Amino acid sequence: MCTSITLTTAGREHLLARTMDFDFELNGEVLLHPRRYKWKSEADGSEHAGRYAFIGMGRRLKNALFADGVNEKGLSCAALYFPGYAVYENEAKEQSRNLAPHEFVTWVLSECGDLEDVKKAAVSLNIVEREVSLLSTVTPLHWLLTDRSGASIVVEPAAGGIQIHDNPVGVLTNSPDFPWHLTNLRNYIGLQPGQFAAKKMGDMTLSAFGQGSGLSGLPGDFTPPSRFVRAAVLKEHMKPVSDETEGVSAAFHILSHMNIPKGIVITDNGEDDYTQYTAVMCSETCSYYFHHYQNRQIQKVCILQEDLDSNEIKAFQPKQEETVHSLQS
């Protein structure tokens, strides 16, 4: 389970933020994937050497595995689980871009500079059913992308091929498919930040117990439909933010309402499905902000301060332990 949103500041900085909720310890690290770094697809063995460098949360396996990231052109992408709905091809196809599902983030951020590039490249995309070695399973995924225009799209692998949806609300969670979530929002058009007026019933005048009555009925559980509605409503009514710093803070505030503590969501296998990290990416500065479950202090890496033509993937080791700032000497 994951939740992702986009935000635009008054200064026209564009952000993509996400939670990573999973029941398997991913032990991710921030990785810099340089320009022209060569990797072979597990779908058909073809070699790739992308045009753009990018940074994101990942794991160094046979190929580096990325869950999200932002590239030097400001294109950002987040992969989210899509169980029961993701449909992949059984075999690679000639004259197609063949990819394993877990390679999509690496491919799109190293090859595409903006959303228009993504739409053009996706025409020949063929996502092939291949296991990711870390999990020993085929990961059912869909993806949220944004760029410096502030627009966002959702890419979903379906029975009819790759579906690309414009995302007017800038929110994505998990199953069902994205059009279903948009339709479901119509059930919540009465939600508002203001208070409901007092109402007379018979000889009684009824008023709300306190503040917040306008959001009575906002879903509070952690299912994908509820998180989608909650994220969309909070994002819609949040006070405007002026710059990147305020935007990053606002994104973390919104996603804190989707964060899952350990012990609250238990899988059928008895495992904790919890928020392992939360990340925010800025398209303009190509910066990657994040905090882990065990350390809520925000940490940052900016790709533009690095050598983008390196021959190797670079890892940035996060501070794992919580840092508490004392106000006393």
pLDDT in tens, 305-327: 999 999 999 999 888 888 888 89
Task: Decide if 77 is catalytic.
Answer: no
User: Can you state the angle between helices 224-237 and 244-256, rounded to 10 degrees?
Assistant: 140
What is the CATH classification number for the domain harbouring 62?
3.60.60.10
Q: Which of 221, 278, 226 is nearest to 251 (CA)?
A: 278
Domain-located, residue 325:
no
184 in a domain, yes or no? yes
How many structural domains does the chain have?
A: 1
114 lies in some domain: yes
Instruction: State the CB neighbour count (10 A cutoff) for residue 308.
Output: 18
Residue 142 lies in a domain: yes
Q: What pLDDT, on the 0 to 100 scale, is given for residue 136?
A: 85
Joined together, the tokens standing for residue 157 give 């692998």
Q: Residue 165: what pLDDT?
A: 98
Say if 54 falls within a structural domain: yes
Q: Which pLDDT value is given to residue 26?
A: 85
Instruction: Give the chain's end-to-end CA distance (angstroms, integer).
Output: 42
Supply the pLDDT for residue 110.
97
Do the strands 125-127 and 97-99 form a parallel or antiparallel pair, or are they unpaired? parallel
Which amino acid is present at 277? Y
Classify residue 326: in a domain, yes or no.
no
Whether residue 99 contacts residue 89, with contact meaning beta carbons closer than 8 Å, is answered with: no
**Domain range spanning residue 54?**
4-316
Ranges of the chain with pLDDT below 50 = none
| Identified catalytic residue from 2, 77, 282, 286 | 2
The single-letter DSSP state of residue 137 is B
Note the pLDDT of residue 129. Answer: 95
Distance CA 100, CA 127 (A): 6
Asked if residue 234 lies in contact with residue 227, where contact means CB atoms within 8 angstroms, the answer is: no
pLDDT at 99: 96
Q: Which CA distances in Å does 50 have to 40, 41, 54, 108?
A: 11, 12, 10, 9
* Residue 321 belongs to a domain: no
Q: From the CB of residue 279, how many other CB atoms can be counted at a distance below 10 Å?
A: 30
Residue type, 34: P
User: Would you state the pLDDT for residue 27?
Assistant: 87
Nearest to 28 by CA among 75, 61, 72: 61
Alpha helix stretches (DSSP H) within 60-195: 104-111, 115-122, 178-184
Q: Is the peptide bond before 224 cis (omega within 30 degrees of 0)?
A: no
Nearest-CA neighbor of 257 among 290, 281, 233?
233
Beta carbons within 8 Å of 119's beta carbon, 6+ residues apart:
153, 164
The pTM assigned to this predicted structure is: 0.94
| Nearest Cα to Cα of residue 57 among 20, 16, 7 | 20
